[in-house]
Chain A
Amino acid sequence: MTTTELKHQAAVPIANGKFAIWLFLSTEIMFFSALIGSYIVFRLGAPGVGWPTPHQMHMIEWIGGLNTTLLLASSAAIVMCLESAKRGEVKKARLWLFLTFMLGCGFLAIKGYEYSEKYRHGLFPNMGRQTIFDRVDEAFVAKIAVGTALPIADSTTSIATSNADSGANMRLLHHGIIDWANLELAKPALPSIERQQLLGAIKDLTSLDGPSGTYDAFWSELGTASEAQHVQAIEEAKSQEAELQQLQPSLSATEKVDPTTKARAAELTQSLTRLNKEQAELTDRVMAINKFALGEHESLAEQMGVPVATVIPNGNLWMNTYFLLTGFHALHVFGGLVAMLVLLPVRLNSARAGLVENVALYWHFVDIVWIFLFPLLYLL
């Protein structure tokens, strides 16, 4: 048994490590092809009004461009590192590698900033699987209208229209509600109360002649109505409290309490608890509606128990693919940074140039993937 190396005839005149890196990169190409291919399928197959534009999704070209520049520069830097290592200039090589590492970190930092900007706009990777329509607003309004048992017809007819635009808006709203209600009705296992409400809503709306009211006015109306309910609840609570106060002396004065008084007192206490609860709920609702009017959709959604999606058509699929593509790219960048971190303390002389070259190959690949992602997500 000898430990000498055996002679081999290699088909490709490169080191095994480099050969394997090339193989690994080709598998990575297949991986990203699958992801980008899926993106193209989703994009071309997007129903309705089509795929959102980058600006709709708050994509800012110059930030993406800056990131592209950073990555390109880092690719150049790692080539310089490789060249220095080949010449045996260890210190220079380390400096170039450090520069590459920092540029990569810069890329990730900017990516992180972009992600946080998306979150700030309410654009999350997992938003909106729970809604039916691309025109989410209408479905949402319809649900809330039915949920609050608010007489839709009254609230909309009473609002006068001032311009054609908002009239069209309102018509859209009506149609949305009717569509939605019809779809809901098609569910075989629908509770009969809900069915009645839906039919009532359809009847009210179809009896309306033409446009009436504006979208914003609807919300203010809804707010006012809820406020009125709120006030009513408070009034009622006040009167009942007063009655209870009146009963109090007769309850505590004598040993033998009149059973009817006792019963009435119990009833009032109970009713007051209920009213207080209702009052709290209505306070929340009014606040939520006011917030909704300001564009903070989620709070009302939570309050009403009605899930709501991003109001951008096909927006949720856009977010899904955006986070999928950039997320996996960022993970690959991170992997490259870890490899560089491992290499940093190593003496990068000509004997170890192969190591640098393998990392550089991988880093160029990461760069190339970004070259594809940047136009797809920011420009097209």
Chain B
Amino acid sequence: MIDESHQTIPQVRAMYNGDRARKLKLVEHGFRLPSALDNRPLTFEEFESLHDQVIFMSATPADYELEKSGGVFVEQVVRPTGVPDPEIDVRPVDGQIDDLLEEIQQRAERNERILVTTLTKRMAEDLADYLDSYGVACRWLHSEIDAFDRVDILRGLRLGEFDVLVGVNLLREGLDLPEVSLVAILDADKEGFLRSERSLIQTAGRAARNANGQIILYADEITSSMQRMMDETERRREKQLAYNEEHDVTPETVRKSQDEVMQGTIIAEEKADEDGQSTYYAGPDEGTSAIVADPVVKYMTDDQKRDLVEQMREEMLEASDNLDFERAAELRDSIEELESQLGE
């Protein structure tokens, strides 16, 4: 079973080359014997030849999965809870922060949680500060937060220790957060990696466990990614609502008890046992790769670009730590490109 296959498969594919590039350097310069190359991950072809039967799982399968399974998907869109995909609302960018603040306050009163995604880490940080200054209980999440701390933060959100979580693209695949009734996507029309159809669908999915779930796309125009995402959501909603009608189902949010939340996030406690001795990092999430090609860059001020460079530099180091040299190199090129734009 390959979970979130649209992410996992590309990662498996990149492992061999990354590992080899690193070890070749070590061998060339006398740090290792050539046989060090023998301890390596599988090539993608070997990986494919080793498995017997495979089930890919994803809300947004990629072409590879489609091709392998002969173009046929087993679809599962109706939720046991009867909760349909959230409704999508497009609102203007002008005044987006104040509008968002109002939405947040309404929901916080109803004891519901809110996720907000921004385009950069800096924007996430600034927004969290701003909301905080208006008395909103708010945290932000970024890629250096390690896996165990991240589960801890998500647990805090679920338990209501705070109401709003702001982040760049860490709010995506598979995080189970039924308490979240609103996902606000800022700059939804800045088409690119973080606002692709797949990315939008995955992000919107975070509000799909709550019967009051809603998505607000702050955008001045409707991009083709947004359009496709809205069409797909509409198609699912129709199917879901028809099922509810036929089976007389009333959508219901699954409210998990405090104990259940604690149990489901038990792994967060393990870090405490280890006394923080390990050098955890957040793991191979998608980052800002190919970011310079992202049209959003041209909307950025020089200061924002500098922030982006800084952020990408951190991600580059992280990628190389993770043997993901292809991405590290891609980021390195993007940094150079951005710096030349900045004339630095």
Q: Do A and B bind each other?
A: no
